[in-house]
Amino acid sequence: YKTINKIGEGTFSEVVKAQSLKDGNYYACKKMKQLFKSDRKSGCLALICELMDMNIYELIRERRHPLSENKIRNYMYQLCKSLEHIHR
């Protein structure tokens, strides 16, 4: 991947826009800031994700109406399934 530009930063990671050298498509590359324990010697952990138009904070901030109960229920379900998956 080739880094294009920085698009965000949080407590635990930095997000950059990256271009795949294989297919030429653009992705979001989330680089973890601190890695305390790893079986790899490179010392760098990065997640390649779909490139979105905005982040979650911007999405929430721009909302003009409260989320519906069904939407909240769906988000909570996805969150719980994600937690279940990472704790296997």
Is position 17 annotated in a ligand binding site? Answer: no
- Which residue type is seen at 77? Y
CA dihedral (74, 63, 68, 79) in degrees, to 10, reads 20
The two counts, helices (H) then strands (E), for the chain are: 2, 4
Annotated binding site for ATP: 30
Annotated binding site: 30
